[in-house]
Structure 1
Amino acid sequence: MAHHLRQGDIFAVGAQRLQMTESIELTIQSLQAYGPTHEHWGIAWSGGKDSSATLTLLMYLLDSGKIQRPKSLTVFYADTRQELPPLAIAARQIMDELEERGVHVEVVTAPLDKRFMVYILGRGVPPPNNNTLRWCTRQIKIDPMQHALEQRLAELDGNVLMITGVRQGESAIRDKRIEMSCGKDGAECGQGWYQKVLPEAKGLHGRLATLAPLLHWRVCHVWEWLKHWAPEAEFGDWSTATIADAYGGDEAEEINARTGCIGCPLASEEKALETVLQNPAWAYLTPLRGIKAIWRELREPQHRLRKAGIERLKDGSIAANPQRMGPILLESRLMALERVLAIQAECNVAAERLGRPRIDLIAADEEGRIRELIAVGTWPDGWDGDEPVATTPLDKVFADGAVQPLLFA
């Protein structure tokens, strides 16, 4: 219990911030206020710092009898297949610890054909970008979670409380934004502890509410819980220290640590991966730096098809972006697949030598499906595969249908 006294390590000198025990007490109050009115609880867990702190704290409060147990508890782990290895490995350890406690963990993954690697390398859809094609988050995380919730609700009688790791920090207390009431009518999503209806919950018929019991926690409390409290036997002996290490260990708060997918195409810099690689224990994953370069290269015209002229949509109208670049060439997909597999193999050879965890950027079933989709010549909707390569010189077509011929054939 020495952690309660080490305030100097947690807070800046002179700052009037919530103490750890006060933060936990407010969390208990929120769970006591709303938990008993829902027979079934679910926890949305991404494996990141906030949701992992929420999950392990909730389990401690249940196991210690500080809050009343629901009729059923289901943990929904969002496995995007793209998480940084330290987070994915810590998640597997925590899943084992949950199963030992008799807690059901449902691993939520996108269908095979919609997973990140299969969608790009098998179907040929270009890597996501921040402008016109940001398909990844919804497809590999949000939609699968929604589907899993709908399936679970269909199995249960009564209503379900979905617990999330959303946080607003101390400002939520200071600005009196936490309201112990329903936030359904006119309230901004996430502005209160409790939301009566999950947004966009099609088919859930108002039976699902969400609770953010760590809404008021400061990030320093999250680090303190993950690094020092949760790993102790008194609080559950959880494998959470690895999560803090993935964000930068003792420097995590100072570097404003965030994590994302391996080689995220949407990030300008690979800060999360570089933070991991600075830890000697994870340095064997250095080849992962090559992933982002592959996605960057696949966006280039020499690897893609292009619409040759005016493109008519299903309703007969003319597309606003004639001669747009499209999917990735079959041979370019094969090239990229071999490069990703080579990176994976290089990491795993080092892992075997060092006795460190192996990684699977592309699992065996995913590789098989990618090769199958390439072999049968799969293209995204609206593309036949006989369009010209995007580097082919073409007459210029404008949105109004006007054509400017090539000056030089």
Structure 2
Amino acid sequence: MKHQPSFFDGGQRLQMTESIELTIQSLQAYGPDHPHWGIAWSGGKDSSATLTVVTWLIDTGKIRAPETLTVFYADTRQELPPLAIAAEQIMDELRERGIRVEVVTAPMDKRFMVYILGRGVPPPNNNTLRWCTRQIKIDPMEQALRDRLDQLDGQILMITGVRQGESAIRDRRIEMSCGKDGAECGQGWYQQVLPNARGLRGRIATLAPLLHWRVCHVWEWLKHWAPEADFGDWSTAMIADAYGGDEAEEINARTGCVGCALAAEDTALDTVLLVPQWQYLRPLKGIKPLWRELREPKHRIKKAGLERLKDGSIAKNPQRMGPITLEARTMGLERILAIQTECNDAARAEGRPQISLINSDEEARIRALIAANTWPDGWEGDEPAADTVMPVVYQNGAVQPLLFGAGE
């Protein structure tokens, strides 16, 4: 029988105990200065460890509870299924404890699938059109924080899962960051402002109480400690599946969105599919090729010539490719729904959790936007198909005619 860890274990367990003790010290040092706490939770390994550790410390009286605690779950609707399913279970466990949970999702027309398949915006890329992270995660989270602050007096302490990756006992990287906001040496995980949060400066402080945890401690907590009744009875073991199951720590995998349009390979999904219980999700491998296909000229329209922008300037690329055609959007929607159906048919047959790529509200909105002939700003939909051969138009107005006429 596997020995379960405890605070009283010696030897190799001492490092884990020290990590938890430093977490307690950081929360004791800065928590009491803020009556309201929030926890930013993505569902990944670091933020899930932070969420469950902090909640357990409050439950057991090891740190004093704030007046209010709000958990903000960033639901991008694109998470890997093991993470999304674990998040649902953990949210139930939080609510059973009386903890306020806010599911933060982008507005309907800004959600990933709706934005692409309904409005026709091409899938994001790493060069000129990387719109996804800010739109489906950062902006909704900032708005949720503003809304919560409107309900509270004073500051809120936002607790994050940021880690440096090494124990504070073994190196000095935390101490190196201690200059921010006059923080005391050795406790540089605290900042009095939230970086990059527009309009929120002065109202939010941030604390990263697991900054000093090593990755082996994160896995130890998620796989062995947190699921035990003494440490909260959390549904965190499933999170390891998204990173490789029993091999998660060894392969040091990273996660991302299902069929991420920005990654060269489907590494995160491939890692999940190595775990036997998740192999019914193999149809998800069809998502990434769809995004690649929808970027092709045959599925898009383009500008025909010189284009004057709202500020009066001339567009740098007079014949740039633009949105996805209505026909291609409909094709993409049917492909995604077919993938979802195939996964869920297998899930029902195997008694496994079902998934949601596009829910009924999103499907209805996508179909409505297509039916309404919706196009991104600056496009009418009557522009030529992007694979149409045309004379080349340059930004200075010069035209290079075709060498041969149509049909020659």
State the TM-score, normalized to the length of structure 1. Answer: 0.93
Checking the alignment, whether the CA contact within 8 Å between 1:121 and 1:333 is kept in structure 2 is yes
Matches of 1:51 and 1:37, distance apart in 2: 22
Structure 2 letter corresponding to 1:93: Q
Asked whether the 8 Å contact 1:182–1:194 carries over to 2, the reply is: no
Change (3 A) 1:212 1:385: same
Give the superposition deviation at 1:7.
6.3
- CA 6–241 in structure 1, closer or farther in 2 if over 3 Å, else same: farther
In the TM superposition, residue 184 of structure 1 has moved relative to its aligned partner by 3.9
Q: Give matches, 1:211-230, under 5 Å.
A: 211-230=207-226
1:317 corresponds, among 313, 318, 338, to 313
| Deviation of 1:200 (Å) | 2.9
Alpha-carbon distance in structure 1 between the residues aligned to 2:79 and 2:324: 24
Which residue in the other structure is 1:362 paired with? 358
- The question of 1:239 aligning with 2:235 is answered yes
| Root mean square deviation, CA, Å | 1.9
Can you list the C-alpha shifts for 1:91-132, whole angstroms capped at 9, x where unaligned? 000000000100010000000000000000000000000000
Structure 2's unaligned 5+ residue stretches are: none
Residue 287 of structure 1, CA deviation: 0.5
Relative to structure 2, which stretch is displaced further, 100-109 or 174-183? 174-183
Structure 2 residue identity aligned to 1:154? D
Q: How far does the alpha carbon of each residue in 1:140-164 deviate from its partner, in whole angstroms, 9 at most, with x for none? A: 0000000000000000012110000
Deviation at 1:403, TM superposition (A): 1.4
1:94 equivalent among 80, 90, 99:
90
For 1:156-203, what per-residue CA distance to the aligned partner results, in whole angstroms no more than 9, with x for missing partners? 0121100000011117661343479672489xxxx9301111123333
Q: Are 1:3 and 2:8 matched, yes or no?
A: no
Residues 49 and 222 of structure 1 are in contact (CA less than 8 Å); yes or no, is this contact kept in structure 2? Answer: yes
Aligned residue in 2 for 1:145: 141
Residue 128 of structure 2 is aligned to residue 126 of structure 1: no
Question: Counterpart amino acid of 2:139?
Answer: D
C-alpha spacing 1:366/1:307, structure 2 compared with 1 (3 Å): same
- Show the counterpart of 1:177: 174
Q: Distance in 2 between matches of 1:275 and 1:137?
A: 22
Q: Given the alignment, which residue of 400, 403, 407 partners 1:407?
A: 403
Aligned to 2:371: 375
Ranges in structure 1 where 5+ consecutive residues have no aligned partner: 11-17
2:334 paired with 1:338? yes
Report the counterpart of residue 199 of structure 1 in structure 2: 195
Q: How does the TM-score come out when normalised to structure 2? A: 0.94
Given the alignment, which residue of 67, 74, 81 partners 1:78? 74
Partners of 1:306 and 1:402 in 2: CA distance: 18
**Within 5 A, what are the aligned runs for 1:293-304?**
293-304=289-300
Deviation at 1:2, TM superposition (A): 3.7
Match of 1:116 among 112, 115, 120: 112
Q: CA deviation at 1:306?
A: 0.7
On the 8 A contact 1:179/1:193 being kept in 2, the answer is no
Q: What corresponds to 2:256 in structure 1?
A: 260
Contact conserved, 1:180 with 1:194, CA < 8 A, in 2? no
Q: How does 1:345-356 map to 2 (within 5 A)?
A: 345-356=341-352
Q: Are positions 1:36 and 2:38 aligned together?
A: no
The equivalent residue for 1:48 is: 44
